[in-house]
Amino acid sequence: MITSELGLGTTADFVYRTMLRRVRWRFSDLVRELGWDEIGTREIVGDLRTLGFLVGSADDASAVRAVEPRMALPVLAARRLKDGPRGGVPGAAAVDRFVSAHERASDAVSGRREGVGFDDLAVVVERFAAAATREVLVIVPTYSPGSYEFSPLIAEAVHRRGAQFRCVWSDDFTMSPAIVPHARWLAERGMSARTTAGPCVRVVIVDGATALVVNREMRMEVVHGPRAVEPLHRTATALWAQGRPAHDAVAGTPVDAPRERYEIVLRLLAEGLTDDAVANRIGVSVRTVRNDVASAMAGMDARSRFQAGVRAAQLGLL
């Protein structure tokens, strides 16, 4: 199979680029746009969904949407890294070129917009969350199936980068059958959700410096700068403090599950730790660390341990 510079097949690459032109696509519209047969198109769409490049629309149950490049490409890199040298991890320069050419959120990251949908909001949140370094705090007053607030892709991307992911949910919907599995999923990965009676607007705060605020009429406002965001962050933190852990209501939920070892090894490589130091830090043998290092270097096409860690950081894996 001929691959693109991103490590996708050229056909899948073309479909993903096409789907980034709109917020969402119904399958029939995509088939018409591409001029392909339904069976071949459905197969490519299925592959892209499996790879994390496409997800179901939160606004139209019959449609799918393309995940923002800043979010999707590190997911691909993480998957390919697990496959070893045969995985074909995309290069950092190729990722930067693709993001520059196809990122859709550039016209929606400041000021206000009226009457937005959840898919529009997801585009903005994915871009912000993909760059988080310390924390993403999400306030959710009402449950909407498929919304960005319950996206495993976003939560995992934040967690992978070593940032904290916290949610505050309304008491009104946390025990719905759709919410309980997500609460368990978060708890299994050491991420936190709490419930409270207080939320009245949707808020996403990233690193205390950027915030997305959505009112009941679905008017979106993006706020930039620590000084402007600080009152929102203070209120959100107070809601968090008064909430109770959501996983308390989920019997048997395990918590504090470790991150995948290879991700931890990559992070420690980027910090310049020796094999012995890495082994002591994560509680495995030096031989195990050396095997992980060799696999990481091969998967990242790196000539040194440090380069492998740096390249992983450039790709958004850390």
Is 60 exceeded by the pLDDT of residue 108?
A: no
Is the pLDDT higher at 3 or at 241?
241
Q: What number is the average pLDDT over the span 109-130?
A: 86
Confidence of residue 254 (pLDDT cuts 50, 70, 90): very low
Enter the pTM of the model.
0.74
Using an 8 Å Cβ cutoff, are 171 and 196 in contact?
A: yes
Phi-psi region of 162 (alpha: psi -120 to 50; beta: other; left: phi over 0): left
pLDDT digits (tens, 9 = 90+) for 27-70: 999 999 999 999 999 999 999 998 889 999 999 989 999 999 88
Sign of the alpha-carbon torsion through 164, 264, 96, 7: negative
If DSSP codes are grouped into helix, strand and coil, which group holds residue 215? Answer: coil
100 exposure class (CB count in 10 Å sphere: 0-12, 13-18, 19+)? exposed
Q: What is the mean pLDDT of the chain?
A: 81
pLDDT digits (tens, 9 = 90+) for 271-284: 667 788 778 777 77
Pairing assessment for the beta strands 192-196 and 164-170 based on DSSP bridges: parallel
If DSSP codes are grouped into helix, strand and coil, which group holds residue 190? Answer: coil
Residue 233: how many CB atoms within 10 A of its CB? 18
